[in-house]
Amino acid sequence: MTRVLITSALPYINGIKHLGNLAGSMLPADVFARFQRARGREVLYICATDEHGTPAELAAAEAGQDVRTYCDEQHELQKRVGASFGLSFDWFGRSSNPPNHRLTQHFAEVLEAKGLIEERTDKMVYSIDDRRFLPDRYVEGTCPHCAFPKARGDQCDNCGNLLDPTDLIEPYSKISGSRNIEVRDTVHLYLLQTRVEDRIRQWVDAQADSWPTLTRSIAYKHLDEGLIDRGITRDLDWGIPVVKDGAPRPGFENKVFYVWFDAPIEYIGATVEWAEATGADWERWWRTDKGAGEGLEYVQFMGKDNVAFHTVSFPATILGSEEPWKTVDRLKAFNWLNWYGGKFSTSEKRGVFMDAALDILPPDLWRWYLTANAPEGSDTAFTWEQFQSAVNKDLADVLGNFVNRIAKFAESKFGGVIPEGGEPGPLETRLFADLDAGIADLSANLEAIEVRKAAQALRGLWVLGNEYLQEAAPWTAIKTDADRAAVIVRTALNLAALYARLSAPFIPFAAEKIAEALGEADLDQWPQQGAAVELARLPAGATIRAPEVLFKKIEDEQIAEWTERFGGAAG
Ligand SMILES: [Zn+2]
C-alpha cells in the first residue's frame, strides 16, 4: 500500500471536546498519520465538525446565536485547539458545507432510485408553544413503570425501561417546559436497511479479519440483532434540505436529513472541500473506478459508540448506492477514557477539556500520557497521579534527561561540536542490535495501530540511551582516551537525534526542539537503514547545542491545584 486515507470520528459542534474524545480517535489517528508520512506514504488525514441536529440548534439558542453563526464560531474554536494539539489534519471540514449537501442529496436520490428509500408516516410529539416536533429525548414526563418524574421519551433513566414518548404520564417539552403538546402525523423518508442486510453481512465477513476484536464484535452484534428500516429525515430547519429533481421535495419543505445520515458522508464531503481548496483530486481517494482501488488503504479511528454507524449504517448507504465508493479497510475502535471512573462532564465541571489542558501544560505532555494509556483493551480512567508519573518518569527522567545530559556534555567538553575520531566498539555494536530490535517492534506496533504497545516500545528505546550512556561513561573515558570519548559522544548525539525522528509521531513539538538543537534537518523520515547507519547521520564537525528544557516535571502542588480546579482525587 502506497497511499493511506485516514479519518477520525467527527467531533460534534457543541463545544470543545474533552481529553477522552482526543484519546479515542483524533490523537491515535494523528500518531498513525505522522508515522505513515514519515515512512514515505502518501497520506490524507481528514476530519470535520459534525454540525447538524437538534443539540446544535439548542446549544445555539442557549448561546443566544443563530445556529449558523454558532457553528461558524465553534468550528473555528475546535479547529484552533486541534491545531494547537498538533493534530495534523490535511483538512478539517464542516458537515454543513456545500459538498456534503450535494453528496447527501445525491446518495438519497440514488438510494431511492434503487428502491431503498420510501416515505412513511410517523406519529410524533409536536410542541405547539415551541412550534416544532420534539425528538423523543426532548419529551419528558412521569415514567409509567416507576413514577420517576423526569423520564425521557426514549428511556427512563431511573428504571431503565425503554419508552415511547406517548407512554409518558403528563408529558412536557424539555425545551420550554410547555405541556401544550400533541401527537401529530409527519411524513419521513426511510432507508430500507432490511433490504441491504445480506450485502452488509457479506461485506463485513470480507473485512472482519483485518478489524480489531472490538470493531468486529460490535458489527456482528448489530447484524445479529437484525437491522431495521430507519428514518433518515427530521422535522428541523437546520440541516441538509430534502430535494427531488433539484427542487424541494413536496411535503418535505420543512424537513432536513437526519444528522446520522449526513455525518458519515462528510468524510467524503470534507475531502471534496480539501480538493476544492487545494486543486487536488478527491476522486482518487474515494472512487474505486478513479484511482481509489488498488494501492490505497482506508483506515478509520473512532470511539466504540460510533462503530455500529460505520460498520452497518453507513455501509447501507454506500453499498446500497451500488456506486464504486471506497469502503473502510481497517477500523480502529477505542473504549472510553473516563475521569476517575466517571464520565467527563461539562455541566458538572468534571475533567479536563482540550482548551483547558493547553492552558496548564504543553500539548506533548497530554499527547504522551493519552497514547501511553490509550483506552484500547478496556475503558481506562485518567488520574492525576498516573499523568504526573508518565510525564516525570517517562518524558523528563528518561528522554529529557538523556538528551540534555549528552548535549550539555558535548557543549562543555567538545565546544558544541560533534567530535571526530575513533571507531564504534562492542558496546556500540550491542546498542545497534538493541536499537534495531526496538525500532522493528515500534514500527510493527505503529503499523498495527497498537497504540499502547507502540508507546511502550518507544519508551524502551529511550531507556536504551540512558543505559548506554551509563555504561559507556564518556565522562570517565575523556580523561584517558579521547578517541573513545569521541565515539561515545558522537553516537549518543546521533541517538538523541534519532529519538527525535522516532518520537515525532507522539510528541511532535519536543521532537522538533531536539532536532533543531542537534541539526537533524529532516524529522519526517522514519529510520529504515539499521541503527549502525542511522547513528552516523549527523556528521562529525557539525555544531549542536543543548535544547532548552524539554519537559518540566509536574510538582505535587500543581496536582493539588488542578484537582481542585478540574475535579478528581479519590471520593
Ligand atoms: Zn422508570
The per-residue pLDDT string of the chain (571 residues; one tens digit each, 9 = 90 and over) reads 689 999 999 999 999 999 999 999 999 999 999 999 999 999 999 999 999 998 999 899 999 999 999 999 999 999 999 999 999 999 999 999 999 999 999 999 999 999 999 999 999 999 999 999 998 889 999 999 999 999 999 889 899 888 889 899 999 999 999 999 999 999 999 999 999 999 999 999 999 888 999 999 999 999 999 999 999 999 999 999 999 988 999 999 999 999 999 999 999 999 999 999 999 999 999 999 999 988 999 999 999 999 999 999 999 999 999 999 999 999 999 999 999 888 888 777 789 999 999 999 999 999 999 999 999 999 999 999 999 999 999 999 999 999 999 999 999 999 999 999 999 999 999 999 999 999 999 999 999 999 999 999 999 999 999 999 999 999 999 999 999 999 999 999 999 999 999 999 999 999 999 999 999 989 999 999 999 999 999 999 999 999 999 999 999 999 999 999 998 765 4
* Exposure b/e, 516-529, CB count within 10 A at least 16 = b: ebbbbeebebbbee
* Exposure b/e, 78-96, CB count within 10 A at least 16 = b: bbebbeebbbbbbbbbbbb
- What is the phi/psi pair of residue 8, to 5°? -120, 150
Contact 364, 87 (CB under 8 A): no
Summarize pLDDT for 330-358 with one digit per residue, the tens.
Answer: 999 999 999 988 888 877 778 999 999 99
Alpha helices in 361-415 (DSSP H): 363-372, 384-389, 401-414
C-alpha cell recorded at residue 452: 499502547
CA 162 to ligand 1 centroid distance, Å = 9
C-alpha cell recorded at residue 480: 584517558
* Exposure b/e, 331-347, CB count within 10 A at least 16 = b: bbbbbbbbbbeeebeee
CA 169 to ligand 1 centroid distance, Å = 11
| Residues across the chain | 571
Alpha-carbon gap, residue 558 to 369, rounded angstroms = 17
CA 155 to ligand 1 centroid distance, Å = 8
Q: Residues 258, 260, 263, 265: what is their CA dihedral angle, to the nearest 10 degrees?
A: -90
Alpha-carbon gap, residue 456 to 371, rounded angstroms = 10
Contact 236, 54 (CB under 8 A): yes
Whose cell is 534519532? That residue is 498
Alpha-carbon gap, residue 385 to 556, rounded angstroms = 9
Alpha-carbon gap, residue 121 to 106, rounded angstroms = 23
CA 182 to ligand 1 centroid distance, Å = 22
CA 379 to ligand 1 centroid distance, Å = 28
Nearest by Cα to 316 from 162, 474, 413, 190: 190
CA 153 to ligand 1 centroid distance, Å = 11
CA 148 to ligand 1 centroid distance, Å = 5
Alpha-carbon gap, residue 332 to 330, rounded angstroms = 6
Residue 422, classed as helix, strand or coil, is: coil
Question: In which element (H, E) is residue 38 found?
Answer: helix 27-38
Summarize pLDDT for 477-523 with one digit per residue, the tens.
Answer: 999 999 999 999 999 999 999 999 999 999 999 999 999 999 998 99
CA 157 to ligand 1 centroid distance, Å = 7
CA 135 to ligand 1 centroid distance, Å = 19
CA 174 to ligand 1 centroid distance, Å = 17
Beta bridge mates, 228: none
CA 1 to ligand 1 centroid distance, Å = 53
Residue 115, classed as helix, strand or coil, is: coil
pLDDT at position 569, please? 64
CA 142 to ligand 1 centroid distance, Å = 8
CA 556 to ligand 1 centroid distance, Å = 45
CA 305 to ligand 1 centroid distance, Å = 24
Alpha-carbon gap, residue 311 to 203, rounded angstroms = 9
Summarize pLDDT for 13-52 with one digit per residue, the tens.
Answer: 999 999 999 999 999 999 999 999 999 999 999 999 999 9
CA 188 to ligand 1 centroid distance, Å = 29
CA 73 to ligand 1 centroid distance, Å = 39
Beta bridge mates, 297: 4
| pTM beyond 0.75, yes or no | yes
Query: Residue 2 contacts by C-beta under 8 Å, 6 or more apart in sequence?
Result: 41, 42, 295
CA 468 to ligand 1 centroid distance, Å = 64
CA 149 to ligand 1 centroid distance, Å = 8
Residue 207's CB is within 10 A of a number of other CB atoms, namely: 19
pLDDT at position 154, please? 87
CA 163 to ligand 1 centroid distance, Å = 9
CA 279 to ligand 1 centroid distance, Å = 56
Q: Residues 312, 316, 322, 328: what is their CA dihedral angle, to the nearest 10 degrees?
A: -30
CA 143 to ligand 1 centroid distance, Å = 5
CA 168 to ligand 1 centroid distance, Å = 10
Whose cell is 584517558? That residue is 480
CA 136 to ligand 1 centroid distance, Å = 15
The DSSP 8-state label assigned to residue 222 in this structure reads H
